[in-house]
Amino acid sequence: MPTLIIVGALWGDEAKGKLVDVFGESARFNVRYSGGNNAGHTVKVGSETYKFHLIPSGILHESCTAVLGAGMVICPAALVEELKTFREKSGREGKLLISGAAHVVFPYHRSQDAAEEEMRGDNPLGTTKRGIGPAYQDKVSRIGIRMWEFVDPNRLTSRVKEVVSLKNRTLQAFGEKPIDADAIIAEYCAYADLIRPFVGEAELIVNEAIRRGEKVLFEGAQGTLLDIDMGTYPYVTGSHPTSGGACVGTGLPPTMIDNVLGVCAAYATRVGAGPFPTELHNEIGERIRIQGNEFGTTTGRARRTGWLDLVALRHASRINGFTSLAITRLDVLSGFEEVGLCTSYEVDGHQTDAFPSDTMKLEAAKPLLEMQPGWNENLSNCKTYEELPKEAQRFVDRIEMFTETPVSLISVGPERTETIYLKPSLIWN
């Protein structure tokens, strides 16, 4: 079957956007299955740089329809702005389809996100404050508003009034200013006019395409360790970035999954709070941040940096069922005398190579590192594995061996062309 799921292996920002763009070229549909505009994907195409938050980067290809799946929470203002920017930059309309079952983010979700972060005082989660968690809370509480209701003016008005009256009861009990439903309705009716033409039965359309044998690329935002169930709870997002999220978030039957590509950078990064065993609080971490330009696409925050954690990566490979791995940003590690790989942790005085699901244990985990010789060569012109310096080859081989997952691709720069294809048949059949 011609399906491929692209999953962030660790804490997001692994360069999924670049790979989705690369493989979007041969896909008929590129379906995003979770999250909202908390994501930020930077894609370089020649002299142009696109920053996507909601729209899958497959939209860059004329033949590919970008689909916003049912598992997403969509901020209409952000979507309208992103579509406008895409059209101005590309000079194209772009093919877009939005699942009527996706949920809508409202201003009260953003206010709640910011207020909850404030209330956490010295221990914030470090959310993107885009209202993602509260939008998923409403969905689970069965008071969320879906795309179908949003694009129907009568239903939008009645649903907003109903939800706002519920929320205002709580706000008033705490002496807070009530939400103005009429202002939201006026603003959202204007967005609905712009978005209505794209809303449809996405699950059915995508399912039929797969059954016709067309290539469909599924894209998870964020990363495995930010998954609400599989991640470092509570330092996680509100959805399922793992491969299973593609099923629940788009109606993709598990039996129709062909390949799962795990994307991981040659080092680890994390934005926001939460355990990060291999984090480097020294000049090496700072050097990785500068060489890799590790500043968030969405919030501009400096990303935390550290050596690649193979214990976490193997765990990610197992729970996502990675059929192969893409190692990105290998070029960033050029010039380091030594490069580190974490192959076990010391937890409570015991050595283990198992990733603990108890966040407290992970917080206490001391990384045990394997230091490997580095390389000085610039990798961005390498087109084959053989052209890589032998130290870089050894680094890649060690990742493959430890994770028991074949490396099918290496990325050595942000451009489409800065890509080494090792085993392309493991990605698309």
Q: At its nearest, how many Å lie between Mg ion and the CB of residue 221?
A: 8
CA 144 to chain centre: 22
d(CA 103, CA 18): 26
Q: At its nearest, how many Å lie between ligand GDP and the CB of residue 223?
A: 8
Query: Residue 396 in contact with residue 327, Cβ under 8 Å?
Result: yes
| Interactions with ligand IMO, residue window 77-106 (CB under 6 A) | none
Q: Which stretch binds ligand GDP (CB under 6 A): 36-44, 103-111, 318-326, 383-391?
A: 36-44
Q: At its nearest, how many Å lie between Mg ion and the CB of residue 296?
A: 7
Q: Which of 3, 13, 24, 150 binds Mg ion (CB under 5 A)?
A: 13
3-8 and 259-265 beta bridge pairing: parallel
Q: Is 292 in the site for ligand IMO (CB under 6 A)?
A: no
Q: Within 10 A of 181 (CB to CB), how many other CB atoms are there? A: 18
Q: At its nearest, how many Å lie between ligand GDP and the CB of residue 331?
A: 5
d(CA 309, CA 81): 37
41 among known catalytic residues:
yes
Q: Is 320 in the site for ligand IMO (CB under 6 A)?
A: no
| SS3 (DSSP) at 365 | coil
13 among known catalytic residues:
yes
**φ and ψ at 101, to 5 degrees?**
-90, -5
State which amino acid sits at residue 378.
N
Q: At its nearest, how many Å lie between Mg ion and the CB of residue 45?
A: 17
Q: Is 297 in the site for ligand GDP (CB under 6 A)?
A: yes
* Nearest residue to 236 via CA among 280, 289, 275: 275
User: For the window 400-429, what string marks contact with ligand GDP as x by the rule CB under 6 A?
Assistant: -----------xxxx---------------
d(CA 11, CA 223): 5
Which of left, alpha, beta for 15 (phi over 0: left; psi -120 to 50: alpha)?
left
Q: Which of 19, 70, 132, 266 binds ligand IMO (CB under 6 A)?
A: 132
Residues that bind Mg ion (CB under 5 A): 13, 40, 297
Positions in the binding site for ligand IMO (CB under 6 A): 8, 11-13, 38-41, 125-128, 130, 132-133, 221-223, 226, 237-238, 271-272, 297
Catalytic residues: 13, 41
